[in-house]
Amino acid sequence: MIPVTKPFLPPQEEYNKYLTGIWRRNWLTNMGPLASELEMKLKEHLKLDHLLYVTNGTVALQMAIKAFDLKGEIITTPFSFVATTSSIVWEGCEPVFVDIEEESLNIDTSKIEAAITENTTAILATHVYGNPCDVVAIEKIARKYHLKVIYDGAHAFGVQINGKSIFEYGDISICSLHATKLYHSIEGGLIITKDATLLKKLAYIRNFGFNGPEAFAELGINGKNSEFHAAMGLANLEYISQITDQRRKLTLQYDDKLKMLRARRPLWHLNSENNFAYYPIVFENETTMLKSMEYLKTHEIFTRRYFYPSLANTLPYLEPQDFEITDKVAQCVLCLPLYPDLSLEEVDFICRLLLRVQNN
Ligand SMILES: Cc1ncc(COP(=O)(O)O)c(C=O)c1O
Protein backbone atom coordinates (compact mmCIF):
# COMPACT_ATOMS: atom_id res chain seq x y z
CA MET A 1 0.00 0.00 0.00
CA ILE A 2 1.25 3.47 -0.86
CA PRO A 3 -0.41 6.24 1.15
CA VAL A 4 -0.50 9.84 -0.05
CA THR A 5 1.73 10.82 2.85
CA LYS A 6 3.56 9.23 5.74
CA PRO A 7 4.98 11.22 8.65
CA PHE A 8 8.74 11.24 9.05
CA LEU A 9 9.87 9.69 12.33
CA PRO A 10 13.40 10.11 13.71
CA PRO A 11 15.24 7.10 15.17
CA GLN A 12 13.38 6.27 18.37
CA GLU A 13 16.46 6.48 20.59
CA GLU A 14 16.91 10.12 19.56
CA TYR A 15 13.39 10.96 20.72
CA ASN A 16 13.96 8.89 23.87
CA LYS A 17 16.94 11.06 24.81
CA TYR A 18 14.59 14.04 25.02
CA LEU A 19 12.12 11.98 27.06
CA THR A 20 14.81 11.24 29.66
CA GLY A 21 15.26 14.98 30.15
CA ILE A 22 11.51 15.53 30.43
CA TRP A 23 11.28 12.83 33.14
CA ARG A 24 14.24 14.32 34.99
CA ARG A 25 12.84 17.85 34.98
CA ASN A 26 9.19 16.84 35.36
CA TRP A 27 8.32 19.92 33.24
CA LEU A 28 5.77 18.81 30.69
CA THR A 29 4.31 21.93 29.13
CA ASN A 30 3.88 25.72 29.62
CA MET A 31 6.84 26.84 27.55
CA GLY A 32 9.41 24.48 28.99
CA PRO A 33 13.07 24.31 28.00
CA LEU A 34 12.48 22.12 24.93
CA ALA A 35 9.81 24.43 23.54
CA SER A 36 12.17 27.38 24.05
CA GLU A 37 15.07 25.50 22.48
CA LEU A 38 12.88 24.64 19.50
CA GLU A 39 11.94 28.30 19.02
CA MET A 40 15.58 29.29 19.15
CA LYS A 41 16.68 26.61 16.67
CA LEU A 42 13.82 27.35 14.27
CA LYS A 43 14.66 31.06 14.29
CA GLU A 44 18.21 30.13 13.39
CA HIS A 45 17.16 27.61 10.75
CA LEU A 46 14.61 29.89 9.10
CA LYS A 47 16.71 33.05 9.59
CA LEU A 48 13.95 34.85 11.45
CA ASP A 49 14.15 37.32 14.34
CA HIS A 50 10.88 36.37 16.00
CA LEU A 51 8.55 33.42 16.12
CA LEU A 52 6.37 31.61 18.61
CA TYR A 53 5.79 27.87 18.82
CA VAL A 54 2.07 27.23 19.31
CA THR A 55 -0.48 24.42 19.53
CA ASN A 56 -1.20 24.14 15.80
CA GLY A 57 -1.61 26.17 12.63
CA THR A 58 -5.32 26.76 13.18
CA VAL A 59 -4.81 28.35 16.59
CA ALA A 60 -1.99 30.41 15.06
CA LEU A 61 -4.44 31.78 12.46
CA GLN A 62 -7.00 32.59 15.14
CA MET A 63 -4.37 34.28 17.30
CA ALA A 64 -3.27 36.39 14.32
CA ILE A 65 -6.81 37.62 13.67
CA LYS A 66 -7.33 38.26 17.40
CA ALA A 67 -4.04 40.13 17.77
CA PHE A 68 -5.23 42.78 15.30
CA ASP A 69 -8.75 42.69 16.76
CA LEU A 70 -10.01 42.37 13.21
CA LYS A 71 -13.68 42.96 12.52
CA GLY A 72 -15.74 43.00 9.34
CA GLU A 73 -14.59 41.45 6.09
CA ILE A 74 -11.39 39.56 5.43
CA ILE A 75 -10.40 38.87 1.84
CA THR A 76 -9.26 35.30 1.35
CA THR A 77 -8.89 32.40 -1.07
CA PRO A 78 -11.46 29.66 -1.66
CA PHE A 79 -8.66 27.26 -2.65
CA SER A 80 -7.14 26.29 0.68
CA PHE A 81 -7.66 24.01 3.65
CA VAL A 82 -10.84 24.65 5.60
CA ALA A 83 -8.93 26.12 8.58
CA THR A 84 -8.10 29.25 6.54
CA THR A 85 -11.80 30.08 6.23
CA SER A 86 -13.07 28.62 9.50
CA SER A 87 -10.57 30.70 11.51
CA ILE A 88 -12.02 33.87 9.98
CA VAL A 89 -15.57 32.82 10.82
CA TRP A 90 -14.53 31.55 14.29
CA GLU A 91 -13.15 35.01 15.07
CA GLY A 92 -16.46 36.62 14.13
CA CYS A 93 -15.32 38.04 10.78
CA GLU A 94 -16.73 37.50 7.32
CA PRO A 95 -14.64 35.75 4.66
CA VAL A 96 -14.83 37.46 1.26
CA PHE A 97 -13.53 35.11 -1.39
CA VAL A 98 -11.46 36.13 -4.39
CA ASP A 99 -10.81 33.63 -7.18
CA ILE A 100 -7.36 32.15 -7.77
CA GLU A 101 -4.88 32.47 -10.62
CA GLU A 102 -4.99 29.57 -13.01
CA GLU A 103 -1.21 29.06 -13.09
CA SER A 104 -0.03 29.51 -9.51
CA LEU A 105 -3.30 28.44 -7.82
CA ASN A 106 -2.82 31.31 -5.36
CA ILE A 107 -5.24 34.21 -4.80
CA ASP A 108 -5.51 36.35 -7.95
CA THR A 109 -4.17 39.70 -6.82
CA SER A 110 -5.64 41.45 -9.89
CA LYS A 111 -9.11 40.66 -8.49
CA ILE A 112 -8.55 41.75 -4.88
CA GLU A 113 -9.29 45.46 -5.25
CA ALA A 114 -12.74 44.81 -6.70
CA ALA A 115 -13.63 42.84 -3.56
CA ILE A 116 -12.59 45.57 -1.11
CA THR A 117 -15.40 47.45 0.63
CA GLU A 118 -15.46 49.94 3.50
CA ASN A 119 -15.77 46.92 5.84
CA THR A 120 -12.60 45.19 4.64
CA THR A 121 -9.95 45.00 7.35
CA ALA A 122 -7.46 42.40 6.15
CA ILE A 123 -6.23 39.98 3.50
CA LEU A 124 -5.63 36.39 4.57
CA ALA A 125 -3.92 34.57 1.71
CA THR A 126 -2.52 31.04 1.54
CA HIS A 127 0.83 30.11 0.00
CA VAL A 128 -0.81 27.09 -1.61
CA TYR A 129 1.39 23.95 -1.46
CA GLY A 130 4.09 26.30 -0.13
CA ASN A 131 4.17 28.28 -3.39
CA PRO A 132 4.52 31.99 -2.50
CA CYS A 133 1.64 34.34 -3.29
CA ASP A 134 2.40 37.53 -5.17
CA VAL A 135 3.49 39.18 -1.93
CA VAL A 136 4.58 42.39 -3.65
CA ALA A 137 1.16 43.02 -5.20
CA ILE A 138 -0.60 42.13 -1.95
CA GLU A 139 1.57 44.53 0.03
CA LYS A 140 0.83 47.33 -2.44
CA ILE A 141 -2.92 46.80 -2.14
CA ALA A 142 -2.75 46.50 1.65
CA ARG A 143 -0.85 49.79 1.91
CA LYS A 144 -3.29 51.58 -0.37
CA TYR A 145 -6.36 50.46 1.60
CA HIS A 146 -4.76 50.25 5.09
CA LEU A 147 -5.37 46.53 5.42
CA LYS A 148 -3.55 43.99 7.57
CA VAL A 149 -1.95 41.05 5.77
CA ILE A 150 -1.89 37.58 7.27
CA TYR A 151 -0.29 34.71 5.36
CA ASP A 152 -1.37 31.15 5.85
CA GLY A 153 1.99 29.51 5.28
CA ALA A 154 0.87 26.15 6.68
CA HIS A 155 2.67 24.43 3.78
CA ALA A 156 5.55 26.86 3.40
CA PHE A 157 8.17 25.66 5.88
CA GLY A 158 11.61 26.61 4.56
CA VAL A 159 10.36 28.55 1.53
CA GLN A 160 12.23 31.72 0.59
CA ILE A 161 11.83 34.52 -1.94
CA ASN A 162 15.11 35.96 -3.16
CA GLY A 163 16.84 34.28 -0.24
CA LYS A 164 14.51 35.78 2.38
CA SER A 165 12.07 33.65 4.39
CA ILE A 166 8.53 33.76 3.03
CA PHE A 167 7.42 34.20 6.66
CA GLU A 168 8.91 37.71 6.69
CA TYR A 169 6.19 38.99 4.39
CA GLY A 170 2.91 40.41 5.60
CA ASP A 171 2.11 41.51 9.16
CA ILE A 172 1.86 37.97 10.48
CA SER A 173 2.56 34.57 8.92
CA ILE A 174 1.68 31.20 10.29
CA CYS A 175 2.99 27.71 9.60
CA SER A 176 1.62 24.28 10.50
CA LEU A 177 3.86 21.63 12.03
CA HIS A 178 1.20 18.93 11.80
CA ALA A 179 2.37 15.32 11.33
CA THR A 180 1.43 15.38 7.64
CA LYS A 181 3.65 18.36 6.94
CA LEU A 182 7.14 18.44 5.43
CA TYR A 183 8.55 19.27 8.87
CA HIS A 184 6.49 18.43 11.93
CA SER A 185 6.23 18.18 15.69
CA ILE A 186 3.23 15.79 15.64
CA GLU A 187 0.86 18.70 16.27
CA GLY A 188 2.23 22.21 16.27
CA GLY A 189 2.33 25.58 14.63
CA LEU A 190 4.39 28.71 14.27
CA ILE A 191 3.33 32.31 14.35
CA ILE A 192 5.79 34.78 12.90
CA THR A 193 6.01 38.56 12.82
CA LYS A 194 8.82 41.08 12.37
CA ASP A 195 7.21 43.38 14.93
CA ALA A 196 8.64 42.80 18.43
CA THR A 197 5.74 44.59 20.16
CA LEU A 198 3.22 42.48 18.29
CA LEU A 199 5.17 39.35 19.19
CA LYS A 200 4.90 40.27 22.88
CA LYS A 201 1.16 40.66 22.50
CA LEU A 202 0.96 37.28 20.75
CA ALA A 203 2.98 35.70 23.56
CA TYR A 204 0.40 36.97 26.07
CA ILE A 205 -2.42 35.72 23.87
CA ARG A 206 -0.77 32.28 23.67
CA ASN A 207 -0.77 32.02 27.47
CA PHE A 208 -4.37 32.98 28.41
CA GLY A 209 -3.38 36.65 28.40
CA PHE A 210 -1.29 36.21 31.59
CA ASN A 211 1.17 38.96 32.41
CA GLY A 212 2.61 37.49 35.59
CA PRO A 213 0.95 34.96 37.90
CA GLU A 214 -1.95 37.19 38.94
CA ALA A 215 -2.22 39.76 36.17
CA PHE A 216 -3.57 39.83 32.63
CA ALA A 217 -2.44 41.92 29.69
CA GLU A 218 -4.73 40.59 26.94
CA LEU A 219 -7.69 38.43 26.10
CA GLY A 220 -5.88 35.14 25.64
CA ILE A 221 -6.28 31.50 24.75
CA ASN A 222 -4.35 28.31 25.44
CA GLY A 223 -2.04 28.34 22.43
CA LYS A 224 0.92 26.65 24.12
CA ASN A 225 2.49 23.40 23.06
CA SER A 226 4.01 20.59 25.13
CA GLU A 227 7.54 19.41 25.74
CA PHE A 228 6.73 16.10 24.05
CA HIS A 229 5.75 17.90 20.85
CA ALA A 230 8.77 20.19 21.03
CA ALA A 231 10.97 17.10 21.48
CA MET A 232 9.67 15.67 18.20
CA GLY A 233 10.27 19.03 16.53
CA LEU A 234 13.86 19.10 17.80
CA ALA A 235 14.55 15.50 16.79
CA ASN A 236 13.08 16.05 13.31
CA LEU A 237 14.94 19.29 12.72
CA GLU A 238 18.20 17.30 12.60
CA TYR A 239 16.84 15.56 9.49
CA ILE A 240 15.36 18.48 7.60
CA SER A 241 18.01 18.56 4.86
CA GLN A 242 17.76 14.80 4.39
CA ILE A 243 13.97 15.02 4.23
CA THR A 244 14.09 17.85 1.70
CA ASP A 245 16.76 16.16 -0.44
CA GLN A 246 14.75 12.96 -0.64
CA ARG A 247 11.56 14.86 -1.50
CA ARG A 248 13.46 16.80 -4.18
CA LYS A 249 14.68 13.53 -5.76
CA LEU A 250 11.18 12.08 -5.78
CA THR A 251 9.72 15.26 -7.23
CA LEU A 252 12.28 15.36 -10.04
CA GLN A 253 11.55 11.72 -10.77
CA TYR A 254 7.82 12.45 -11.04
CA ASP A 255 8.58 15.45 -13.27
CA ASP A 256 10.72 13.33 -15.53
CA LYS A 257 8.41 10.33 -15.78
CA LEU A 258 5.24 12.36 -16.18
CA LYS A 259 6.44 14.54 -19.05
CA MET A 260 3.98 12.86 -21.40
CA LEU A 261 1.02 13.04 -19.01
CA ARG A 262 -1.70 15.47 -20.05
CA ALA A 263 -1.77 17.22 -16.70
CA ARG A 264 -0.04 20.36 -15.56
CA ARG A 265 1.97 21.36 -12.50
CA PRO A 266 1.23 24.64 -10.71
CA LEU A 267 3.66 27.34 -11.74
CA TRP A 268 6.05 28.06 -8.86
CA HIS A 269 6.98 31.65 -7.95
CA LEU A 270 9.90 32.59 -10.19
CA ASN A 271 12.12 33.95 -7.40
CA SER A 272 11.58 31.03 -5.09
CA GLU A 273 12.42 27.32 -4.87
CA ASN A 274 9.92 24.55 -4.20
CA ASN A 275 10.10 23.07 -0.70
CA PHE A 276 8.68 19.81 -2.09
CA ALA A 277 5.87 19.68 0.44
CA TYR A 278 3.34 18.25 -2.07
CA TYR A 279 3.16 16.89 -5.60
CA PRO A 280 -0.07 18.30 -7.07
CA ILE A 281 -1.07 17.84 -10.70
CA VAL A 282 -4.02 19.41 -12.46
CA PHE A 283 -5.71 17.17 -15.02
CA GLU A 284 -7.50 18.48 -18.10
CA ASN A 285 -10.87 17.48 -16.70
CA GLU A 286 -12.49 15.85 -13.70
CA THR A 287 -13.29 12.62 -15.54
CA THR A 288 -9.63 11.87 -16.26
CA MET A 289 -8.66 12.85 -12.74
CA LEU A 290 -11.27 10.50 -11.23
CA LYS A 291 -10.32 7.68 -13.57
CA SER A 292 -6.66 8.08 -12.62
CA MET A 293 -7.43 8.25 -8.90
CA GLU A 294 -9.59 5.11 -9.07
CA TYR A 295 -7.05 3.19 -11.14
CA LEU A 296 -4.29 3.97 -8.65
CA LYS A 297 -6.60 2.89 -5.84
CA THR A 298 -7.06 -0.53 -7.44
CA HIS A 299 -3.28 -0.87 -7.04
CA GLU A 300 -3.49 0.24 -3.40
CA ILE A 301 -2.03 3.64 -4.18
CA PHE A 302 -3.79 6.48 -2.44
CA THR A 303 -3.86 10.05 -3.66
CA ARG A 304 -5.76 13.03 -2.32
CA ARG A 305 -8.03 15.63 -3.84
CA TYR A 306 -6.32 18.48 -2.05
CA PHE A 307 -8.09 20.98 -2.08
CA TYR A 308 -11.49 19.76 -3.04
CA PRO A 309 -14.18 20.97 -2.85
CA SER A 310 -13.87 24.75 -3.09
CA LEU A 311 -14.33 26.42 0.30
CA ALA A 312 -16.68 28.93 -1.32
CA ASN A 313 -19.46 26.52 -2.16
CA THR A 314 -19.44 23.73 0.40
CA LEU A 315 -19.23 25.04 3.94
CA PRO A 316 -22.57 24.69 5.74
CA TYR A 317 -22.09 28.01 7.52
CA LEU A 318 -21.56 30.13 4.38
CA GLU A 319 -23.73 31.06 1.42
CA PRO A 320 -22.49 29.04 -1.55
CA GLN A 321 -20.64 30.96 -4.26
CA ASP A 322 -19.07 29.76 -7.49
CA PHE A 323 -15.66 30.84 -8.77
CA GLU A 324 -14.67 29.94 -12.29
CA ILE A 325 -11.01 29.05 -11.79
CA THR A 326 -11.23 27.67 -8.26
CA ASP A 327 -14.13 25.37 -9.12
CA LYS A 328 -12.36 24.07 -12.22
CA VAL A 329 -9.02 23.51 -10.49
CA ALA A 330 -10.60 21.94 -7.39
CA GLN A 331 -12.35 19.41 -9.63
CA CYS A 332 -9.21 18.47 -11.54
CA VAL A 333 -6.41 18.59 -8.97
CA LEU A 334 -4.82 15.54 -7.41
CA CYS A 335 -1.90 15.26 -4.97
CA LEU A 336 0.29 12.24 -5.61
CA PRO A 337 2.11 10.30 -2.87
CA LEU A 338 5.16 12.16 -1.56
CA TYR A 339 7.08 11.34 1.61
CA PRO A 340 10.71 10.54 2.43
CA ASP A 341 10.14 6.77 2.65
CA LEU A 342 8.73 6.58 -0.86
CA SER A 343 11.17 4.96 -3.29
CA LEU A 344 12.05 6.05 -6.83
CA GLU A 345 10.78 2.66 -8.03
CA GLU A 346 7.42 3.33 -6.42
CA VAL A 347 7.30 6.72 -8.15
CA ASP A 348 8.08 4.99 -11.46
CA PHE A 349 5.28 2.52 -10.84
CA ILE A 350 2.77 5.32 -10.03
CA CYS A 351 3.81 7.18 -13.19
CA ARG A 352 3.47 4.08 -15.37
CA LEU A 353 -0.06 3.55 -14.07
CA LEU A 354 -1.01 7.18 -14.70
CA LEU A 355 0.28 7.02 -18.27
CA ARG A 356 -1.52 3.72 -18.80
CA VAL A 357 -4.85 5.27 -17.76
CA GLN A 358 -4.27 8.16 -20.11
CA ASN A 359 -3.45 5.91 -23.03
CA ASN A 360 -6.43 3.61 -22.54
C1 LIG B 1 -3.53 25.70 4.29
C2 LIG B 1 -3.69 25.23 5.70
N3 LIG B 1 -3.98 26.13 6.65
C4 LIG B 1 -4.12 25.77 7.94
C5 LIG B 1 -3.96 24.47 8.34
C6 LIG B 1 -4.16 24.10 9.76
O7 LIG B 1 -3.00 23.64 10.38
P8 LIG B 1 -3.09 22.66 11.64
O9 LIG B 1 -3.52 21.32 11.15
O10 LIG B 1 -1.71 22.67 12.18
O11 LIG B 1 -4.07 23.24 12.60
C12 LIG B 1 -3.65 23.49 7.39
C13 LIG B 1 -3.49 22.08 7.79
O14 LIG B 1 -3.41 21.17 7.03
C15 LIG B 1 -3.52 23.88 6.03
O16 LIG B 1 -3.25 22.98 5.07
**Domain coordinates in residue numbering, the chain:** 12-98+105-237, 240-359
Splitting the chain (360 residues) into consecutive groups of 10 residues, what average pLDDT does each group show? 98 98 98 98 98 98 98 98 98 98 98 98 98 98 98 98 96 98 98 98 98 96 98 98 98 98 98 98 98 98 97 97 98 98 98 94
Instruction: Tell me which DSSP letter residue 210 carries.
Output: B
C-alpha of residue 176 to centroid of ligand 1, in Å? 6
C-alpha of residue 360 to centroid of ligand 1, in Å? 37
C-alpha of residue 355 to centroid of ligand 1, in Å? 32
**CA distances (Å), origin 338, targets 44, 180, 182, 260, 319:** 27, 10, 10, 20, 35
C-alpha of residue 359 to centroid of ligand 1, in Å? 36
Q: Could you give the 3-state DSSP secondary structure of residue 234?
A: helix
Strands 263-264 and 280-283 turn out to be antiparallel
The CATH architecture annotation of domain 12-98+105-237 reads 3-Layer(aba) Sandwich (3.40)
Q: What is the pLDDT of residue 342?
A: 98
Beta-bridge partner residues of 150? 124, 172
Q: What is the pLDDT of residue 360?
A: 83
Strands 52-54 and 189-192 turn out to be antiparallel
The topology (CATH level 3) of 240-359 is: Aspartate Aminotransferase, domain 1 (3.90.1150)
Q: What is the pLDDT of residue 334?
A: 98
| Closest ligand 1 atom to 56 CA | 10
Whether residue 126 has its Cβ less than 6 Å from ligand 1? yes
Whether residue 154 has its Cβ less than 6 Å from ligand 1? yes
- Kindly report the protein residue whose alpha carbon is nearest to atom 8 of ligand 1: 57
C-alpha of residue 352 to centroid of ligand 1, in Å? 32
Whether residue 80 has its Cβ less than 6 Å from ligand 1? yes
CA distance 134 to 128: 11
C-alpha of residue 224 to centroid of ligand 1, in Å? 17
| Closest ligand 1 atom to 87 CA | 4
Whether residue 189 has its Cβ less than 6 Å from ligand 1? yes
Q: What is the pLDDT of residue 39?
A: 98
What sign does the CA torsion over 249, 250, 254, 255 have?
negative
CA distance 180 to 8: 9
Buried b (16+ CB within 10 A) or exposed e, 19-45: eeebeeeeeeeebbebbebbbeebeee
CA distance 358 to 356: 5
Whether residue 160 has its Cβ less than 6 Å from ligand 1? no
